[in-house]
């Protein structure tokens, strides 16, 4: 199939992928690349039922990871992957950054998907190695956002120079901890939840309208269990944004 598009969301620790055929995801998955993806590991993305004619990717990982993926694409599929960059505007979204390209391409793709899902005020949270929170107005104007370390990074930052082993941290709960380990785990979760709730509630107060909150990323399920505001979870949000970007590129060419 030459109309199939392999979509890649390459983060700092994970690669999420999907094969898009005529606007539907035929297959997909994720893998941990650890900063050094092996050619054989990337082969999991090969699908004889839908050999892609294009590869469209967001990559916020180190350049060496991108180079490895490009090598795999050339070796296995004889394709050069198309790397998405954040523009000043497009697909109904207006970038808030003075230098638009500085906005991470994963955040741009998430905003594009968010615009399609939510016509009103909206907030997208991508909870991974970093936790990003981006706000969107009804006209598609990006209102800016926040970036914090991810939950694990918040904990590891505190653990540096201490004798507390990270492996012994409990599953976090949004309540006061009764051991140092629980205090660390719960504190990181509570901090992220508080930021998200504050961002949404502040925008609702300013706009005097409700804000739809959408979660994505590796920690989205955990955050979903503890957030005290209405929200939905869309695990493939960035990939769905990439699919819209890829189809727009074809339509405008």
Q: What is the CATH number of domain 4-83?
A: 3.30.420.40
| Active site members | 106
Per-residue pLDDT of the chain (253 residues; tens, 9 = 90+): 458 999 999 998 899 999 999 889 988 999 988 888 888 889 999 876 788 999 999 999 999 999 999 999 999 999 999 999 999 999 999 999 999 999 999 999 999 999 999 999 999 999 999 999 999 999 999 999 999 999 988 988 887 777 777 667 788 999 999 988 899 899 999 999 999 999 999 999 999 999 999 999 999 999 999 999 999 999 999 999 999 999 986 555 4
pLDDT at 37: 84
pLDDT at 36: 83
Equal CATH topology for 4-83 and 89-240: yes
Instruction: Report domain extents, the chain.
Output: 4-83, 89-240
pLDDT at 162: 74
Q: What is the CATH number of domain 89-240?
A: 3.30.420.40
CA distance 64 to 135: 31
pLDDT at 253: 43
3-state SS record for the chain: CCCEEEEEEECCCEEEEEEEECCEEEEEEEEECCCCCCHHHHHHHCCCCCCCCEEEEEECCCHHHHHHHHHHHHHHHCCCCEECCCCCEECCEECCCCCHHHCCHHHHHHHHHHHHHCCCCEEEEEECCEEEEEEECCCCEEEEEEEEECHHHHHHHHHCCCCCCHHHCCCCCCCCCCCHHHHHHHHHHHHHHHHHHHHHHHHHHHHCCCCEEEEECCCHHHHHHHCCCCCEECCCHHHHHHHHHHHHHHHHC
């Amino acid at each position: 199939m030459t109309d199939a598009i392999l979509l890649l969301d390459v983060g700092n620790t994970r690669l999420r992928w999907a094969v898009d055929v005529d606007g539907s995801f035929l297959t997909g998955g994720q893998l941990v690349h650890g900063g050094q993806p092996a050619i054989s590991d990337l082969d999991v993305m090969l699908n004889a039922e839908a050999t892609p004619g294009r590869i469209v990717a967001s990559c916020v990982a180190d350049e060496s990871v991108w180079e490895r993926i490009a090598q795999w694409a050339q070796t296995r599929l004889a394709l050069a992957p198309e790397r998405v960059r954040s523009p000043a505007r497009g697909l109904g979204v207006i970038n808030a950054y003075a230098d638009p390209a500085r906005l991470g391409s994963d955040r741009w793709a998430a905003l594009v998907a968010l615009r399609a899902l939510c016509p009103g005020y909206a907030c997208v949270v991508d909870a991974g190695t970093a936790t990003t929170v981006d706000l969107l107005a009804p006209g598609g104007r990006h209102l800016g956002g926040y970036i914090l370390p991810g939950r694990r990074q918040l904990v590891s930052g505190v653990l540096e120079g201490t004798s507390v082993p990270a492996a012994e941290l409990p599953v976090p709960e949004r309540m006061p901890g009764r051991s140092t380990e629980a205090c660390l785990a719960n504190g990181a979760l509570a901090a992220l939840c508080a930021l998200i709730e504050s961002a949404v509630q502040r925008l609702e107060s300013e706009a005097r309208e409700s804000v739809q909150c959408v979660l994505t990323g590796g920690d989205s399920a955990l955050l979903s269990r503890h957030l005290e505001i209405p929200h939905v979870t869309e695990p493939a949000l960035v990939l769905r944004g990439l699919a819209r970007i890829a189809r727009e590129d074809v339509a405008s060419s």
